[in-house]
Structure 1
Amino acid sequence: MTDTNNTVAPIPSNYLVGFKIESTTNFTFSDEGGFTPLSGTIEHTGTVTFNDQITVGNFSIGLAPGRTVTGVSGFVLRDTFSLNTILFDLGIPGPVAFDGQNLTISDVKLLISPEFANLLQKPKLTGLFGGTARIDAQVAAVPEPDSVLAILVAGAALLATKFYTQKIKST
């Protein structure tokens, strides 16, 4: 990573970069019987540049039915800044914590998507580990009887990301 723009301090501080959750976020979930995503997307602002060559950002996280990559949650992280493509399939998250106001989704593995691997002209990268993400957000109850919750914009709400660099050999 060689540059960042419009980012925020990550939570926790051992992550490299954080992104603010935008007001256009319309993600809903239920906490009855465990964390269950229902609909919508989580929208972020900010960009990162890799090797002074490619800048991606203004990320959108949402469900993409029919993803065929093994070991993923069905959620994807899409760049809406420059490439307008899915960059990562999101692995099954680690612990999900909700205290009635704050939602934390930890240890989400970022797996390189087929679309991003093809753009990089390295299709063998598909499904490889690209880093770890964490989502921290403040939430508010949606006025519905089934107690569905929606993520609201908050200054401290962000997607924090750890990127791992690997040397990849051409074969």
Structure 2
Amino acid sequence: MTNKACNRHVILSGCSGGGKSTLLAALGRAGFQTVAEPGRRIVAQETAGRGAALPWVNPAAFARRAVDMAKQDRAGLGDASSWVFFDRGLIDAAVALEHEAGIEVSETLAGSARFHPLVFMAPPWPEIHRIDGERRHGFDDAVAEYHRLCGAYDRLGYKLVILPKTGVAERTVFVLNRLD
């Protein structure tokens, strides 16, 4: 994968329950390649099996699995000629691993190519935040996670772009306009 291709890899991050997955789905419907959030996929796999690496059972094991899955996701992509959008992904997983196991983000990311310099952050949005079978943490925990993510992306030299609290169509246009 070339550096130019990686520069087409765009991260959607931010507050849990802030509308990232909905935005990702809209970008997919618009014809862009998308990569679903590792965390939700892991929860689905773990709840179908023995459930040892769930964030509410063993958060460190969950974070390790998310890092591994995010690395595999990225390695499986060819050279991108168009935008590829990631719902969370490697850096978010590295931040979770640092929080849960004390492993520095820089250590987890060592040797990984950088993503596009703009990172789109879904801000805390209590009106749409919901707890469900895959997201069991409350709004206060989601806000704390949001602040950890903002700090980490800033330390890594990414430019944070806060998504507006608007409908998905407006958010989609906002993201695409910022990338042009």
TM-score, normalization by structure 2: 0.30
The higher relative CO (CA closer than 8 Å, separation ≥ 6) is in 2
TM-score, normalization by structure 1: 0.31
Structure with the higher helix share, 1 or 2: 2
Structure with the higher strand share, 1 or 2: 1
